[in-house]
Amino acid sequence: MSIGLDDVIAAQTILSHVDGERGRLILRGFDLDALAGIEAFEAVAARLWAGFGPTEYTGASLATALGEARGVAFERLQPLLRVAGALTPVEGLRLLLSSLSDAAPIPPAVLVTAAVPVFVAALARAVTGRRPLPPDPALGQAADFLRMLRGVPASDAHVRALDTYLVTVIDHGLNASTFTARVIASTRAGMISSVVGGLCALKGPLHGGAPGPVLDMLDAIGTPENIEPWLEARIRAGERLMGFGHRIYRVRDPRADVLKRVAASLAGTADGNRIRFAESVEAAALRLLARAKPGHRLDTNVEFFTALVLEALDLPRAIFTSVFALGRVAGWAAHVMEQEREGRIIRPQSAYVGPWPKAAA
């Protein structure tokens, strides 16, 4: 029995491999470093989906298909936006994605991937009473998301930074949300239900909900003098420091390094002091965690620098988890298609530790 399924291998995949000892992430035969910041999100999604769907895409043809599908998703918005807009952004996204159908005339992987930026931008605007903006099918996912959110075209630097982030988080082995999506797919419930399940798992603070709290932590610490006492008090109280620790990585999460570079590249447009302050917090947290949990090898995870990149892009904290889904949705879709091809229902067993019926007298 393995509570938490540590060390259990529950699926075979050609999509991604997480090497926790060497701090390496391989995406369909490529190291993360060979893709992030080099290939566009659509090109990497096309690589992940190759061989699974009814259509083979290149980066360019997938960008076109996603552009058209964003228009379809936009039409779905109006009837539900009032209800979805009253929820938290990630709950609103859950509701809107649930309204999509596997029976739509476009492949469900394309529809659901295209829908996420349309819905997230509309929900973020709804918070401040602004109407949703229709997508521009000529743009890539990153550029169109920023434009739909802000109402003006984003700079090349911002588009590049967000696009690099989307590639960095696109897939990551059998993490909790991907596993959830695969379990649902294994029952043949379909793409949309599987992706909605993935989003539900991503929402939790131990998975994709961490970056907002990372910024809350930086704000609460406030000054360089307060770093050590603040962190020490939290660790002593048994709290988890957001942005640190990982089930698989025993060394630094390679995605943290990619995103640290992205955050530094934005330092000109954002607050360089914030990034330097965060680096001091990171260094102190690693020192204190090593001392407090000597057997555990806790290091920086993807969420720490995600927080800084998304903040430098001036995105509202409340949508950080949903923005994670903008990238990860393509990975979920790939895993769903792979699982559907595998065809075996995922059905582990549990160890019963409850009471047994009394023996008949």
CA distance 136 to 116: 14
Rounded Cα distance, 158 and 326, in Å: 15
Options 109-117, 121-129, 130-138, 244-252: segment touching ligand ACO (CB under 6 A) = 244-252
Q: Using the rule CB under 6 A, which residue among 17, 150, 240, 250 binds ligand ACO? A: 240
Classified as helix, coil or strand, 194 is helix
Burial of 223 (0-12, 13-18, 19+ CB in 10 A): exposed
CB-nearest residue to ligand ACO: 245
Cβ neighbours of residue 356 closer than 8 Å, sequence gap 6 or more? none
User: Smallest distance from the beta carbon of 296 to ligand ACO, in angstroms?
Assistant: 4
List 45, 242, 275, 307, residue binding ligand ACO (CB under 6 A): 242
**DSSP H helical segments within the chain, as ranges?**
32-35, 41-49, 59-85, 89-98, 108-127, 141-150, 156-168, 176-186, 191-202, 211-221, 227-236, 254-265, 272-292, 302-312, 320-342
Beta carbon nearer to ligand ACO, 123 or 325: 325
* Structure token digits, residue 143: 């550029």
- Region binding ligand ACO by CB under 6 A among candidate stretches 36-44, 69-77, 93-101, 234-242: 234-242
Amino acid code (one letter) for 132: P
Closest approach, Cβ 294 to ligand ACO, in A, equals: 10
Catalytic-role residue among 39, 158, 172, 246: 246
246 is catalytic: yes
Of residues 13, 31, 37, the one with CA closest to residue 160: 37
Q: Which is nearer to ligand ACO, 143 or 288 (CB)?
A: 288
The catalytic residue among 303, 311, 335, 338 is 303
Q: Which is nearer to ligand ACO, 258 or 298 (CB)?
A: 298
- Complex with ligand ACO: residue 235 or 318, whichever CB lies closer: 235
Q: Interface with ligand ACO includes 210 (CB under 6 A)?
A: yes
User: Of 85 and 197, which CB lies nearer to ligand ACO in the complex structure?
Assistant: 197
Among 67, 243, 254, 331, binds ligand ACO (CB under 6 A): 243
Among candidate residues 220, 231, 219, 319, the one with its CA nearest the CA of residue 271: 219
- Give the residue, chosen from 130, 188, 293, 341, that forms a contact with ligand ACO under the rule CB under 6 A: 293
Name the token pair of 107.
């492949």
Q: Count residues contacting ligand ACO (CB under 6 A)?
A: 21
The full DSSP string for 216-264 is: HHHHHH-SGGGHHHHHHHHHHTTPPPTTB--SS-SS--HHHHHHHHHHH
As a whole number of angstroms, the distance between CA 100 and CA 191 comes to 10
245 is a contact residue toward ligand ACO (CB under 6 A)? yes
> What CA–CA distance (Å, rounded) separates 64 from 101?
21
User: According to the binding rule CB under 6 A, does residue 241 interact with ligand ACO?
Assistant: yes
Q: Which residues contact 156 (CB under 8 A, 6 or more apart)?
A: none
Work out whether the CA dihedral 339, 96, 310, 251 comes out positive or negative: negative
Question: Please, what is the minimum distance in Å from the beta carbon of residue 357 to ligand ACO?
Answer: 35
Q: Which residue has the tokens 């792979």?
A: 338
Among 94, 203, 246, 335, contact with ligand ACO (rule: CB under 6 A): 246
Residues 297-316 interacting with ligand ACO (rule: CB under 6 A): 298, 301-303
Could you say whether residue 326 binds ligand ACO (CB under 6 A)? no
The residue among 126 and 263 lying less far from ligand ACO, judged by its C-beta, is 263
- Interface positions, 37-96, toward ligand ACO (CB under 6 A): none
CB 341 within 8 A of CB 178: no
Rounded to a whole number of angstroms, the minimum distance from the CB of residue 263 to ligand ACO is: 17
CB of residue 101 to ligand ACO, shortest distance in Å: 29
Nearest to ligand ACO of 198, 243 (CB atom): 243
- Kindly list the catalytic residues: 246, 303
Which residues lie near ligand ACO (CB under 6 A)?
Answer: 4, 206-208, 210, 235, 240-247, 289, 293, 296, 298, 301-303
